[in-house]
Amino acid sequence: PLARLNDPSLLKTQAFINGQWIDGASRFPVQDPATGAHLADVALLSRSDARRAIDAANAALPAWRNLTGKQRHAILLRWYVLLIEHQEDLARIMTAEQGKPFAEARGEVSYGASFVEWFAEEAKRTNGETLPQFDNNRRLLVIKQPIGVCAAITPWNFPLAMITRKVAPALAAGCTVVIKPAELTPLTALAAVELARRAGIPDGVLNIVTSDSAGSIEIGKELCENDTVRHLSFTGSTEVGRILMRQCAPTVKKLALELGGNAPFIVFDDADIDSAVEGAIASKYRNAGQTCVCANRIYVQDGVYDEFAEKFAAKVSAFKVGNGFEEGVVQGPLIEPAALEKVQNHIDDALAKGGKLLTGGQRLHGQFFQPTVIADATADMKVAREETFGPLAPLFRFATEQEAIDAANHTEFGLASYFYSRDVGRIFRVGEALEYGMVGINVGIIASEHVPFGGVKQSGLGREGSHHGIDEYLELKYLCLGDI
Ligand code: ADP
């Protein structure tokens, strides 16, 4: 698939430090999860390379931070335009290394680029404050300044958007950045950095260090322990988030963490059932269930349970599963063999505890898994507590509103949640009672650059996107003028 790029020079396999494409001591392979085909060998960098990247980012900081917001805006806007111009190629690279259907990959390019556009605009609006004085001899100001050198560690499920969502606000704020992309999907990240270079982002302002999984752990240590790095933003598992938080404690680094979820999706008796079925499918099966906001537990009220289960399972069983480049495919492969094992393990556990298979349940060839629906799910099953991160939808039956709220909140996670109801009182009651950072009401897809994305409890710290997203990369400074 990569032989057919319109612009073959977007296919980069070296890392990028201080404006130079560089090699590491060796290389690591990147594979197509749909076919197992070898796509490229990418530079394998070490901890000392990461240190060089941090030093380059630090050296580039004064000049970048001293540009006006409007000057940074102009450069970021060029990057946005280039990302959109190369949408087809970026999507092609993404489907090849990540597996998602090509239409979803194109959608991610739009979504990923939208953060660059949005924060290009916000670069001009990092307004401070003047405060009423507490003493007439003084005047009080608050200004916002870039936090400094930032690091971003990103996952494979959104190979572009998880980078732009961090990097764009950091650059807009006047920070410089070192990116460590996921080892499974470095090619999309490298292509995005090549476009940033073409857009005129100065040397050292944006650096990317690639490595395999063992090397990523070592580079992660440097990004956490190096005192020059003032902010670390991570999207990935809660388990790795905890490690990074611990590693950042000695340097008291500011952290943004977007971690695991266990999203509930509640369908009340008064819901529009056809709309709820559509929403549940969009939320559950997007990216083959491999997103942190995918519905993980579907709770359906007694009165509509049978109707919902029948309509939902019928639609899911009609999915076309296959290579993301094939016409009409809505579900691609899972990212790696371990992901298939986890789905199988959750299915086996659910069936052993009384779950009823409505559709799917089997591995297909290679890294493909049938979209699966299990009815009669119960709270003692693994699917109730752990994020499956795959195409398995468990249906839980409930009787009362309070029962649904209690079950939904019974988790250490708190990222996305969803419910369907047409009762305005219930919409407010349930919307306010769900202990989640985000609530979709009568809708299954909620992300956009306009809104603050993030979780509560063990789903993370901070918000990405919206006008709040840039504050993550700015420090408040209070100026107190005396002797007036
Ligand atoms: P996922 O569940 O999405 O596979 P991970 O949390 O394992 O997520 O990985 C997300 C990112 O974190 C990847 O870029 C990966 O290389 C990186 N990573 C994984 N383990 C560590 C670690 N111990 N230190 C630093 N980075 C890590």
Q: Give the pLDDT of the chain (484 residues) as one tens digit per residue.
A: 898 999 999 999 999 999 999 999 999 999 999 999 999 999 999 999 999 999 999 999 999 999 999 999 999 999 999 999 999 999 999 999 999 999 999 999 999 999 999 999 999 999 999 999 999 999 999 999 999 999 999 999 999 999 999 999 999 999 999 999 999 999 999 999 999 999 999 999 999 999 999 999 999 999 999 999 999 999 999 999 999 999 999 999 999 999 999 999 999 999 999 999 999 999 999 999 999 999 999 999 999 999 999 999 999 999 999 999 999 999 999 999 999 999 999 999 999 999 999 999 999 999 999 999 999 999 999 999 999 999 999 999 999 999 999 999 999 999 999 999 999 999 999 999 999 999 999 999 999 999 999 999 999 999 999 999 999 999 999 999 999 9
Mutate to test the pocket of ligand 1, among 45, 153, 156, 239 (most ligand atoms within 8 A of CB): 153
pLDDT recorded at residue 1 = 83
Instruction: Kindly state the helix (H) or strand (E) to which residue 178 belongs, with its residue range.
Output: strand 176-180
Contact 24, 45 (CB under 8 A): yes
CA of 236 to the centre of ligand 1 (A): 6
Q: Take atom 24 of ligand 1 and give the residue whose Cα is closest.
A: 217
User: Are β-strands 176-180 and 206-208 bridged in parallel, bridged antiparallel, or unpaired?
Assistant: parallel
Token look-up 């494979």 returns 156
> Is the distance from the beta carbon of residue 251 to the nearest atom of ligand 1 less than 6 Å?
no
> Is the distance from the beta carbon of residue 188 to the nearest atom of ligand 1 less than 6 Å?
no
CA of 293 to the centre of ligand 1 (A): 18
For 118-137, the pLDDT digits (tens) are 999 999 999 999 999 999 99
Say how far apart CA 322 and CA 125 lie, in whole Å.
Answer: 45
Ligand 1 atom at minimum distance from 153 CA: 14
pLDDT recorded at residue 447 = 96
> Is the distance from the beta carbon of residue 182 to the nearest atom of ligand 1 less than 6 Å?
yes
For 76-107, the pLDDT digits (tens) are 999 999 999 999 999 999 999 999 999 999 99
Quote the DSSP letter at residue 202. P
Contact 83, 197 (CB under 8 A): no
CA of 239 to the centre of ligand 1 (A): 9
> Is the distance from the beta carbon of residue 257 to the nearest atom of ligand 1 less than 6 Å?
no
Q: Take atom 11 of ligand 1 and give the residue whose Cα is closest.
A: 155
pLDDT recorded at residue 2 = 92
Which CB contacts under 8 angstroms, 24+ apart, belong to 324-328? 324/34, 324/95, 324/99, 324/100, 324/101, 324/102, 324/104, 324/105, 325/1, 325/34, 325/95, 325/102
The Cα-based distances of 25 to 14, 43, 44, 211, 423 in angstroms read 11, 8, 6, 10, 61
For 456-470, the pLDDT digits (tens) are 999 999 999 999 999
104 carries an active-site annotation: no
For 315-358, the pLDDT digits (tens) are 999 999 999 999 999 999 999 999 999 999 999 999 999 999 99
> Is the distance from the beta carbon of residue 292 to the nearest atom of ligand 1 less than 6 Å?
no
> Is the distance from the beta carbon of residue 288 to the nearest atom of ligand 1 less than 6 Å?
no
CA of 65 to the centre of ligand 1 (A): 29
Instruction: Kindly state the helix (H) or strand (E) to which residue 166 belongs, with its residue range.
Output: helix 161-173
CA of 220 to the centre of ligand 1 (A): 9
Q: Take atom 14 of ligand 1 and give the residue whose Cα is closest.
A: 182
Say how far apart CA 432 and CA 425 lie, in whole Å.
Answer: 11
Ligand 1 atom at minimum distance from 243 CA: 23
